């Protein structure tokens, strides 16, 4: 079965890693991968089901790509994989005839058996039939930028979240396997550790091992820098703070999903922290690591959230002055405790509150970036756009934060290398600069 495959992976970077394992299986079977869906005989849509908007995006992607059967392309089989089939496999089997094969989040091993069966018999629902083994990956990111997924599932049980229903309980991957995987990624300028909650690594098997994992990966010669995402605030203790502060390979950056600032809403969300504790954590991090960049995410319009609590969240943002934040309107998801809560907020109100939160944070982020004008930063180059080079400083994670856009000024610039860049201007989320030299 020597077919040409194309994959579209939707949702988070954790889902991207799962998709890379599907592509790794494609290569292991001797098949080709194309970046043009019109050239593919088999198309994989790796879906997200976290929010209703994500489900709609996934379903639209399936429908759009199904049009490539016939004159529009070479499509023979359409595989729908990931979170959407995992949660709604039976419904999709009945209501999505465009899908030839359905695979869940741990069904990489079933990709080819299910496809072969589909060629013989027609549509196949193979959700939950895989071995769950973590196979080799085909890295789809830039060569110098890679993700390492250190665990799956979650046991935080936030009242708005479907992840435990989709992915199950928190499961840490064996440390020796993760270190071997990181070593096998080749030279990597920036390795990003991800999980639903990275800070809980190891707790499911008896003891928190997150810092030890960071130390082990830091010993690898091929890993230049490590970025930490999804660090839950209540799990950030002295040991992790010390590791971020003292380990030269760990970027002085933490993504800390706080979700809200007000105690009543945090309690309704099932979050362990309180506003006083969140403020104390930010102050402690800045005292211990003066150059630390902190990013967070927040939910607007959670059930029963009042205007006063919304304004209090805006005041929290102004007080904490985080480097960057993402804001999301609460999505009412069936099969979660928050679905049945009283005081559901009107969609228009939720959208307004998201907009106002972004407006508040934009002023803060812009002011923060203005302080870099006139200084020189180390910038990792990701590529070139419209005659300028685009890279990132340590306080800019890929895709979720801004960039440094700079001119070469006579220097030969290569993606994946680090350069000293003089900052000459700033915008709301991006910096403007001129290259001074290669590091």
Per-residue model confidence as pLDDT tens digits over 169-201: 999 999 999 999 999 999 999 999 999 999 999
The answer to the question of residue 193 being in a domain is yes
Q: CATH no. for residue 75?
A: 3.40.50.12160
Please give the tally of structural domains in the chain: 3
Q: Are strands 151-152 and 223-228 parallel, antiparallel or unpaired?
A: unpaired
How far apart are the two ends of the chain, measured CA to CA in Å?
47
Return the pLDDT at 133.
79
For 3, list phi and psi in degrees, rounded to 5.
-105, 165
Beta carbons within 10 angstroms of residue 217's beta carbon: 22
The per-residue pLDDT of the chain, averaged, comes to: 94
Q: Are residues 292 and 390 in the same domain?
A: no
User: What is the distance between the alpha carbons of residues 302 and 265, in angstroms, rounded to a whole number?
Assistant: 7
Residues 293-328 have pLDDT tens digits of 999 999 999 999 999 999 999 999 999 999 999 999
Residues 85-120 have pLDDT tens digits of 999 989 999 999 999 999 999 999 999 999 999 999
Domain of residue 280 covers 145-369
Q: Are residues 226 and 282 in the same domain?
A: yes
User: What is the distance between the alpha carbons of residues 89 and 95, in angstroms, rounded to a whole number?
Assistant: 10
Task: For residue 66, give the nearest of 108, 109, 98, 19 by alpha carbon.
Answer: 98
The answer to the question of residue 335 being in a domain is yes
Q: CATH no. for residue 284?
A: 3.80.30.20
Q: Are residues 351 and 384 in the same domain?
A: no
Q: Are residues 160 and 303 in the same domain?
A: yes
The answer to the question of residue 18 being in a domain is yes
User: What pTM value is reported for the model?
Assistant: 0.92
Question: What's the whole-number mean pLDDT along residues 278-282?
Answer: 97
Q: Are residues 242 and 343 in the same domain?
A: yes
Return the pLDDT at 51.
85
Last residue of a domain, one of 335, 369, 403: 369
Whole-angstrom CA distances from 34 to 38, 134, 145, 242 are: 9, 23, 20, 44
For 8, list phi and psi in degrees, rounded to 5.
-115, 120
Q: Are residues 281 and 211 in the same domain?
A: yes
Residues 377-407 have pLDDT tens digits of 999 999 998 889 999 999 999 999 999 999 9
Task: For residue 219, give the nearest of 243, 249, 198 by alpha carbon.
Answer: 249
Q: Are residues 432 and 398 in the same domain?
A: yes
Residue 344 has what DSSP assignment?
P
Residues 344-379 have pLDDT tens digits of 999 999 999 999 999 999 999 999 999 999 999 999
Q: CATH no. for residue 395?
A: 2.40.50.140
């Amino acid at each position: 079965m020597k077919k040409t495959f194309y994959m579209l992976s939707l949702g988070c970077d954790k889902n991207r890693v799962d998709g890379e394992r599907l592509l790794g299986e494609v290569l292991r079977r001797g098949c080709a991968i194309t970046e043009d869906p019109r050239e593919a005989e088999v198309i994989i849509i790796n879906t997200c089901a976290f929010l209703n908007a994500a489900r709609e995006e996934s379903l639209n992607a399936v429908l759009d790509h199904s049009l490539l059967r016939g004159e529009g392309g070479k499509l023979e089989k359409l595989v729908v994989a990931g979170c959407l089939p995992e949660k709604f496999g039976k419904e999709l089997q009945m209501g999505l005839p465009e899908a030839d094969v359905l695979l869940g989040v741990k069904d990489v091993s079933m990709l080819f058996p299910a496809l072969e069966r589909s060629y013989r018999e027609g549509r196949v629902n193979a959700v939950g039939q895989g071995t769950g083994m973590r196979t080799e990956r085909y890295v789809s990111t830039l060569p110098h930028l890679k993700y390492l997924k250190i665990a799956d599932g979650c046991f935080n049980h936030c009242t708005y979240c479907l992840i435990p229903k989709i992915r199950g309980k928190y499961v840490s991957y064996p440390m020796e396997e993760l270190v071997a995987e990181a070593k096998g990624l080749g030279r990597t300028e920036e390795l990003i550790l991800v999980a639903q909650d990275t800070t809980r690594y190891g707790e499911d098997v008896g003891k928190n091992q997150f810092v030890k994992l960071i130390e082990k990966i830091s010993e690898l010669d091929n890993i230049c820098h490590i970025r930490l995402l999804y660090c839950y605030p209540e799990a950030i203790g002295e040991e992790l703070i010390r590791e971020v502060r003292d380990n030269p390979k760990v970027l002085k950056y933490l993504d800390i999903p706080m979700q809200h600032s007000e105690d009543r809403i945090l309690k309704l969300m099932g979050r362990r922290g309180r506003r006083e504790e969140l403020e104390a954590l930010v102050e402690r991090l800045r005292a211990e690591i003066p150059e630390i960049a902190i990013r967070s995410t927040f939910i607007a319009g959670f059930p029963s959230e009042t205007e006063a609590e919304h304004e209090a969240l805006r005041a929290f943002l102004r007080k904490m002055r985080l480097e960057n934040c993402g804001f999301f309107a609460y999505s009412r998801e069936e099969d979660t405790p928050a679905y049945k809560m009283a005081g559901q907020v009107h969609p228009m109100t939720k959208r307004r509150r998201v907009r106002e939160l972004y407006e508040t944070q934009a002023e803060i982020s812009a002011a923060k970036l203005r302080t870099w004008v006139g200084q020189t930063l180390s910038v990792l180059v990701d590529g070139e756009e419209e005659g300028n080079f685009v890279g990132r400083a340590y306080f800019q994670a890929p895709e979720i934060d801004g960039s440094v856009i700079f001119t070469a000024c006579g220097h030969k610039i290569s993606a994946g290398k680090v350069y000293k860049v003089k900052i000459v201007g700033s915008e709301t989320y991006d910096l403007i600069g001129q290259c001074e030299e290669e590091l």
